[in-house]
Amino acid sequence: MDFDRIKEKLSILADAAKYDVSCSSSGSKRKNTNKGLGNASEMGICHSYTQDGRCVSLLKILLTNHCIFDCAYCVTRRSNDIKRAAFKIQEVVDLTINFYRRNYIEGLFLSSGIFKSPDHTMERLISVAKKLREEENFNGYIHLKSIPGASDELMREAGLYADRLSVNIEIPTKSGLKLLAPEKDHTDFMKPMEKVKNEIIQYKKESKLIKHTPTYAPAGQSTQMIVGATGESDRDIMYSSAFFYKNYNMKRVYYSGYVPISNDPRLPALNSQVPMLRENRLYQTDWLMRFYGFDIRELLNKDFPFLDMDIDPKLSWALRNRQHFPLDINKAEKRHLLRVPGIGLKSVNKIIHARKFKKLNWEHLKKIGIAYNRAKYFITCDSREKELRELSSENLKSIIIQNSQSKFRKKLNNQLSLF
Amino acid sequence: MTEKILKYDGSFKGFLTCIFTAYEQKLKIIQILPQAEDQEQLFTGTHNIITEEQKAQRVLKALKSKASVNGIKKIKYAFLSEAQDIEIKLYEMIRYIFSEKEKVELDYSHSAVLYISKIAKQVAREKHRMEAFVRFRLTKDKIYFAIIEPDFNVLPIINPHFKKRYADQKWLIYDIKRKLGVYYDLSKMEYVSIALPEDIGFSGANSEYFEVGEIYYQKLWKEYFDCTNIKNRVNMRLHVQQVPKRYWKYLSEKSPFA
C-alpha cells in the first residue's frame, strides 16, 4: 500500500465529503451472518465527535471529486481550482474494512462527484458496496448516494447492498436550482427518490408474503437542503421538506447551513457566517412536524414565512394562538399536551403516566423536568398559584426571554444587530 | 437477632448468594462487602458467604417473577458500578421488590429504587461509550487488542456486543484497572489475566508488539478525523460534552503519537 498517496487522497476526498451532514448509522438491523464481519446497531453508534460537534459514525468520503457539473454552491464544481483525486474501488474497500475492524466506524458513507455519466458513477458506487458485502462478508452499515439521473435498474441494485440511500436536493426551490445549478434538472433528483421509494414499498409487501426476501435499503432514504444560499424563506424550505416526507417516505431531511466556499456573486460572501441558529430553528420545526402533530402550515404560512430567531417555533406558535391555552395538565389530551411550549415528548409521557396516580402540581411538574419558565404561562395544575395570564403576547414573550437562558443569546445579539 | 456483615467473593452470583442466606437465616444485614475490602468490625458478627450457583439461581428466579427484564438489568448494571455501599442499597431494593405484590421497580418515590436506577443509568452510559471508544490495534500475533480503564466494571456487559460484531477476528479487550481481559479466539470468549509491558500505551504502535501496518491506519484515521471537521463551525463546549476529556486517551485521533 502506498501509504502517502492514500493519505493524500483521503484528505482530499474526506474534506470534500464533509458538507454532507448526515452521519447517521441507525435504523438498520442487519445481522452478522455466517461468522462474517460486523453488524448494524439499530440505534447507531458515534465513534467520535469532531470539534464542530458532529458525530463521526461512518467513513464519509467521495469516490472522486472530479465532476462534470458546475453547481455554484458545491466545493467540487468543475470550475473550482482545487486538487482532484480518485480512489480505486479496492482502496475504499480496504480502508473501510481496516477502520471497521479497529472499531473506528460503523460503516461507509460513499458519495461521489459525477464523472463521465450519472450511470457510470452510480455503477462504481454500487461495485464498492457489492464487493464489501459479497467478498468481505461485511454486514456493517453502508450509506450510498443516489446519483441524480441514474437509471432505475441501478437504483434497484443499489438498495440491495446499501442500508440507506440519499439524494441531496440541496436547493429547496426550483428557481434557486436554476440560478445555481443551471445544468441540473429538478426531475433528475426526483427520479431516483421515486424509484427507491417504490422499491422499499414493494420489498416490504413481498417480505410479508415470502419469508426470505432480501432487505432493500432497510434504513430508508434521506435528503439534505442547503440553508441560506439562495435567499429562500423558511417557509420554502419547510414546505419542500414536508413534501419529501409525505411523498417519498423520507426517514430524514437534513438542513445544512451554507458554509461559504466561493466568491461567486450569486452566493453569500466568503466571510459571511454559517447560519447555525437558523439551522437549529429549522430542525426544531422539523421535529414539531414529525413528532408533535403540527401541520407545517400552522407553523409557517403566507403571513408568517420566517421563523422567529429569538424563541423556539413551538413557543412562537403558542404566542400566536393563545386561544388554545391555558390547558389543565391533569385533564388535557396527549395531542394537546404536546403543543405546550417547554414540554417535550418524554415529559408528556411521564405526565400521562404520573397523573393516573395523583393530581400533579408545580412541584411534580418541575421534578418531571418540564421547562417550567416557558410552560407555566400555558398550563394550570393542582396548585393555587397562577401565572400572569392576562399579559399580551408581546409582553409574555419579552418576560420569557428575560427569564430564560439560551446558548444562542450571544450569537443572537450579533445576528440581530446586522438588521 | 444480631446485626451481621456479609462478605462475599465480589461476583454477582456471590452477591445473590448473600441475599439467599439473609432470607434463609433471617439475618439482619447491615453491610455486604466484597472480600478485598476487609475491615474487622468488632461489635458485629461477620459471615463469609461462599458462592453457590444454586442459591444464586433461586434468587434470580424469584426476582424474575417480581420484576421485569429491565428491572433485573438495572440491578445487574448497578452492581457493576462497584459504588460504595451498592450491595446494601441493592439489598434494600430487592427486599422492597419481594415485599410488595405489585411490581415496584419503577416506584421512584422509594429511595433505594431511585438510587439504583440512577446508578444503572450511569453504567449504561459508560457501556455505550466503551462500545464506541474502544480502539483495537492489530498485534503481531494478529489479535485485535484494546485497553480500557472504565470507571465502572463494564467489561462483562460490553463483550456480547463485540462478539456479535467481530465474529471473524481474534480480539482481546483488557481492563487495566481491574487487571482482567476478555479474549475471543474465533469460537469462544474467556476471561484472561496477563502481564502487559509498561510501554504498550492506549494508542500508537510500538513495532515490538504491533503489526507493521498498524501505525498507518492510526495515522490515516487521524487524517480523516481532522479533514472531516468544518472549521467555520467549531464548538468546543459541545465537543467536550460529547467526548469528556477522561476518554481522550483511548482515541488515537485525539492523542498525539509518533
In which element (H, E) is residue A13 found?
Answer: helix A3-15
CB A342 within 8 A of CB A316: no
Identity of the residue in B132, B166, B254 whose CB atom sits nearest the CB atom of A46: B132
Q: How far is it, in rounded angstroms, from Cα A100 to Cα A82? A: 30
- Does the beta-carbon distance from A10 to B223 stay under 8 Å? yes
Tell whether B159 is covered by a domain: yes
Tell whether B50 is covered by a domain: yes
pLDDT at A224: 92
Q: How far is it, in rounded angstroms, from Cα B205 to Cα B224? A: 18
Same domain, A186 and A242: yes
pLDDT at A416: 46
- Does the beta-carbon distance from B229 to A102 stay under 8 Å? no
Tell whether A304 is covered by a domain: no
Range of the domain at A353: 313-416
Distance from CA of A22 to the nearest CA of B (A): 12
pLDDT at B104: 83
- Does the beta-carbon distance from A104 to B135 stay under 8 Å? yes
- Does the beta-carbon distance from A51 to B239 stay under 8 Å? yes
Alpha helices in A51-163 (DSSP H): 89-101, 118-134, 152-161
Identity of the residue in A32, A47, A59 whose CB atom sits nearest the CB atom of B165: A32
Same domain, B112 and B186: no
Comparing alpha-carbon positions, the chain B residue that sits nearest to A57 is B132
3-class secondary structure per residue, B168-220:
CCCEEEEECCCCEEEEECCCCEEEECCCCCHHHCCCCCCCCCECCCHHHHHHH
Same domain, A337 and A198: no
Comparing alpha-carbon positions, the chain B residue that sits nearest to A257 is B233
By CB atoms closer than 10 A (0-12, 13-18, 19+), residue B196 is middle
**How many residues can be counted in chain B?**
258
Which position has the grid cell 494508542?
A: B203
Give how far Cα A291 sits from Cα of A348, A406, B152, Å. 12, 23, 35
Tell whether A191 is covered by a domain: yes
Same domain, A60 and A208: yes
Tell whether B257 is covered by a domain: no
What would the mean pLDDT of A126-133 be, rounded to a whole number?
97
Same domain, B25 and B108: yes
Identity of the residue in B134, B168, B253 whose CB atom sits nearest the CB atom of A35: B168
Helix (H, G, I), strand (E, B) or coil at A222: strand
pLDDT at A208: 76
What would the mean pLDDT of A240-257 be, rounded to a whole number?
92
In which element (H, E) is residue A334 found?
Answer: helix A334-337
Final residue of a structural domain among A269, A299, A329? A299
CATH code of A62's domain:
3.20.20.70
Cβ contacts of A60 on chain B, cutoff 8 Å: 228
Same domain, B16 and B39: yes
pLDDT at B204: 86
CB A108 within 8 A of CB A96: yes
Distance from CA of B89 to the nearest CA of A (A): 23
Q: How far is it, in rounded angstroms, from Cα A384 to Cα A371? A: 19
Which of A244-248, B106-110, B249-253 has maximum average pLDDT? Answer: A244-248
Same domain, A112 and A210: yes
Tell whether B255 is covered by a domain: no
Distance from CA of B222 to the nearest CA of A (A): 10
Quick one: pLDDT band at residue B258, thresholds 50, 70, 90? very low
Final residue of a structural domain among A299, A330, A345? A299
Distance from CA of B227 to the nearest CA of A (A): 5
Cβ contacts of A48 on chain B, cutoff 8 Å: 132-133, 225, 243, 251, 253-254
Tell whether A267 is covered by a domain: yes
Same domain, B69 and B15: yes
Residue A246 backbone dihedrals phi, psi, to 5 degrees: -75, -50
Alpha helices in chain B (DSSP H): 12-24, 53-66, 69-80, 86-99, 111-133, 155-165, 214-227, 236-242
What would the mean pLDDT of B26-30 be, rounded to a whole number?
89
In which element (H, E) is residue A244 found?
Answer: helix A234-248
pLDDT at A409: 61
| Torsion of the alpha carbons at B188, B193, B197 and B199, rounded to the nearest 10 | 80
DSSP assignment letter at B145: E
Chain B interface with A: residues with Cβ < 8 Å: 128, 131-138, 144, 146, 164-169, 186, 213, 216-217, 219-221, 223-236, 238-239, 242-243, 251, 253-254
Print burial letters for A264-278: b (CB count within 10 Å at least 16), e (below 16). Answer: beebbeeeebbbbbb
What would the mean pLDDT of A353-358 be, rounded to a whole number?
80
Q: Taking all residues of chain A, what is their mean pLDDT, rounded to a whole number?
A: 89
Comparing alpha-carbon positions, the chain B residue that sits nearest to A140 is B165
Tell whether B77 is covered by a domain: yes
- Does the beta-carbon distance from B225 to A60 stay under 8 Å? no
- Does the beta-carbon distance from A45 to B131 stay under 8 Å? yes
Distance from CA of B70 to the nearest CA of A (A): 18
Final residue of a structural domain among A299, A327, A350? A299
- Does the beta-carbon distance from B230 to A36 stay under 8 Å? no
Same domain, A93 and A172: yes
Same domain, B112 and B195: no
What would the mean pLDDT of A13-37 be, rounded to a whole number?
86
Query: Lowest-pLDDT range, A308-317, A365-374, A389-398, B58-67?
Result: A389-398
Enter the C-alpha cell of residue A224.
Answer: 439534505
Same domain, B116 and B150: no
Distance from CA of B79 to the nearest CA of A (A): 25
Domain count, chain B: 2
What would the DSSP string read from start to end of B65-80?
A: HHS-HHHHHHHHHHHH
Tell whether B117 is covered by a domain: yes
Domain count, chain A: 2
- Does the beta-carbon distance from A46 to B242 stay under 8 Å? yes
Final residue of a structural domain among B126, B152, B170? B126
Enter the C-alpha cell of residue A95.
Answer: 480502508
Q: How far is it, in rounded angstroms, from Cα A91 to Cα A297? A: 48
Distance from CA of A377 to the nearest CA of B (A): 28
Enter the C-alpha cell of residue B59.
Answer: 434468587
Tell whether A307 is covered by a domain: no
What percent of chain B lies above the pLDDT cut of 70?
A: 95
Long-range pairs, B11-15, Cβ under 8 A, ≥24: B11/B51, B12/B56, B12/B76, B12/B79, B13/B51, B13/B53, B13/B56, B14/B49, B14/B51, B14/B56, B15/B79, B15/B87, B15/B90
pLDDT at B40: 57
Distance from CA of B80 to the nearest CA of A (A): 22
Sorted by sequence, the CB contacts under 8 Å of residue A175 that are 6+ apart come out as: A230
Which position has the grid cell 487488542?
A: B145
Final residue of a structural domain among B92, B126, B160? B126
CB pairs under 8 A between A and B: 125
Comparing alpha-carbon positions, the chain B residue that sits nearest to A10 is B224
What would the mean pLDDT of A267-286 be, rounded to a whole number?
91
Q: How far is it, in rounded angstroms, from Cα B74 to Cα B79? A: 8
Q: How far is it, in rounded angstroms, from Cα A246 to Cα A102? A: 39
Same domain, A196 and A54: yes
Checking if the pLDDT of A23 tops 90, the result is no
Enter the C-alpha cell of residue B73.
Answer: 438489568
Same domain, A77 and A212: yes
**Measured between alpha carbons, how far apart are the two ends of chain B, in Å?**
64
Identity of the residue in B137, B168, B223 whose CB atom sits nearest the CB atom of A36: B168
- Does the beta-carbon distance from B242 to A49 stay under 8 Å? yes
Same domain, A149 and A289: yes
Tell whether A305 is covered by a domain: no
Same domain, A260 and A379: no
Enter the C-alpha cell of residue A310.
Answer: 429569538
- Does the beta-carbon distance from B166 to A38 stay under 8 Å? yes
Q: How far is it, in rounded angstroms, from Cα B170 to Cα B163? A: 10
Nearest residue to A229 via CA among A19, A407, A54: A19
What would the mean pLDDT of A304-320 be, rounded to a whole number?
94
Final residue of a structural domain among B94, B126, B158? B126
Give how far Cα A128 sits from Cα of A111, A121, A135, Å. 11, 11, 10
pLDDT at A76: 92
Q: Determine the residue type at A273.
A: Q
CB A70 within 8 A of CB A81: no
Q: Measured at the alpha carbon of residue A22, what is the angle toward residues A21 and A24, in degrees to the nearest 5?
A: 145
Task: Tell me the pairing of strands A164-166 and A221-227.
Answer: parallel
Which position has the grid cell 509491558?
A: B197
Best mutation site among A45, A103, A105 for testing chain B: the one with the most B CBs within 10 Å? A103
Which of A105-119, A184-198, A358-372 has maximum average pLDDT? Answer: A105-119
Print burial letters for B120-134: b (CB count within 10 Å at least 16), e (below 16). Answer: beebbebbbbbbbbb
Query: Lowest-pLDDT range, A298-312, B123-137, B151-165, B230-244?
Result: B230-244
Identity of the residue in B128, B135, B223 whose CB atom sits nearest the CB atom of A102: B135
Between B109 and B131, residue with greater pLDDT: B131
Checking if the pLDDT of A30 tops 70, the result is yes
Distance from CA of B148 to the nearest CA of A (A): 13
Could you give the strand order of the β-sheet that contains B3-8, starting from the edge strand earlier in sequence? B28-34, B3-8, B45-48
Helix (H, G, I), strand (E, B) or coil at A345: helix
Between B251 and A327, residue with greater pLDDT: A327
Quick one: pLDDT band at residue B100, thresholds 50, 70, 90? confident
- Does the beta-carbon distance from A37 to B138 stay under 8 Å? no
What would the mean pLDDT of B83-104 be, rounded to a whole number?
92
Residue A182, preceding peptide bond in cis (omega within 30° of 0)? no
Between A233 and A271, residue with greater pLDDT: A233
pTM of the model: 0.89
Best mutation site among B168, B169, B212, B243 for testing chain A: the one with the most A CBs within 10 Å? B168
pLDDT at A417: 42
What would the mean pLDDT of A39-56 be, rounded to a whole number?
88
Between A419 and A259, residue with greater pLDDT: A259
Q: How far is it, in rounded angstroms, from Cα B37 to Cα B245? A: 30
Same domain, A271 and A370: no
Which position has the grid cell 447517521?
A: A24
Same domain, B179 and B238: yes
Nearest residue to A169 via CA among A226, A234, A250: A226
Tell whether B154 is covered by a domain: yes
Same domain, B147 and B58: no
Cβ contacts of B135 on chain A, cutoff 8 Å: 102-104
Identity of the residue in B186, B216, B243 whose CB atom sits nearest the CB atom of A49: B243
Tell whether B256 is covered by a domain: no
pLDDT at A21: 80
Q: How far is it, in rounded angstroms, from Cα A98 to Cα A195? A: 33
Range of the domain at B185: 135-250
Same domain, A15 and A125: yes
Q: How far is it, in rounded angstroms, from Cα A310 to Cα B112? A: 42
Checking if the pLDDT of A329 tops 70, the result is yes
User: A59-80: per-residue pLDDT in tens?
Assistant: 999 999 999 999 999 999 999 9
Q: How far is it, in rounded angstroms, from Cα A136 to Cα A119? A: 25
Same domain, A286 and A330: no
